[in-house]
Homo-oligomer: A and B are copies of this chain.
Amino acid sequence: MAGRPRSEPARRPGSEPRSGGRQHQARGRGGTGRRTRRAGRTLPRRNREAQEKAIVEAAERVFAGAGFGGATMAEIAKAAGLPKPNLHYYFGSKQALYRAVLERTLREWLEPADCIVASAQPREALECYIRGKMRLSFTCPYASRVWANELLHGAPELRATLVRTLRPLVRRKAAVIDRWIAEGRMAKVDSKHLFFTIWAATQTYADFAVQICAVLGLDKFDRTVQERATEHVVGLILRGCGLAGTRPGRRK
């Protein structure tokens, strides 16, 4: 099938490396997504947005499992259930796809920080933040691992983002905490390093899950362990910040 080259097929595919660079214009012009809603035949006729999402999600899993260097486009394509050229059609290159995955992750990463606002109670705010982070670790471990992997290798793709986005965010949130400290509402801790510790303590459950499972003798995290871990981290850090009290003991 397919084939049947009409009449003047063999035009010698140029042989030159074409080298090329910016072919793949990506994104058409205006209303690309027309949402056809009329299923073609085998493929549910997904629109561009849905296809891109499917690819990014597949890529997230594969990158998380093998790192940028270890992941292959073929594997990602397979995971997404699409032929390989489609990935290039939508994202142009492996690196661009990788970047798309990272961008997606950044949003989730920053979200829980919304809890930390000056008008909140220190204990409520930090507890909310930590719980949010723990929840993410358990629900989106892949995203966390891709992010961790990128940092591990020197953040070649997002060093700029760290400085332009993460740094200002931390500065703002740290200022809130510093005020609480100045008002004597919590112990004197280094507010920025507190963030590093919270990130580390919470994401370790996503990034290093195998190690934790191995030590605990589990195959995977179950509800019980997730709750136990969460209460442990929340308790330890709140106590470390001088925010114990109120809630008597371990909840569960």
Point out residues on A near B: beta carbons under 8 Å. Answer: 64-71, 145, 148-149, 151-155, 159, 162-163, 166-167, 170, 187-190, 192-197, 199-201, 203-205, 207-208, 210-212, 214-217, 228-229, 232-233, 235-237, 239-242, 249-250
Contacts and interface: CB of A to CB of B under 8 A. Distances in A.
Given A64-B153, A67-B70, A145-B153, 8 more contacts: A66-B67, A67-B152, A159-B214, A163-B214, A163-B217, A189-B236, A193-B233, A196-B201
18 contacts: A65-B153, A67-B67, A67-B149, A67-B153, A148-B208, A149-B153, A162-B214, A167-B214, A187-B239, A188-B249, A189-B236, A190-B232, A196-B201, A197-B204, A200-B200, A200-B203, A200-B208, A239-B240
B166 A70 contact: no
A194 B67 contact: no
Given A162-B210, A163-B214, A204-B199, A236 B232 contact: no
A236 B228 contact: no
Given A194-B232, A201-B201, A236-B194, A155 B211 contact: yes
A193 B232 contact: yes
Contacts of A189: 232, 235-236
A9 B47 CA distance: 51
A161 B4 CA distance: 48
Q: Which of A66, A189, A249 has the most CB of B within 10 A?
A: A66
Contact of A237 (B145, B159, B236): B236
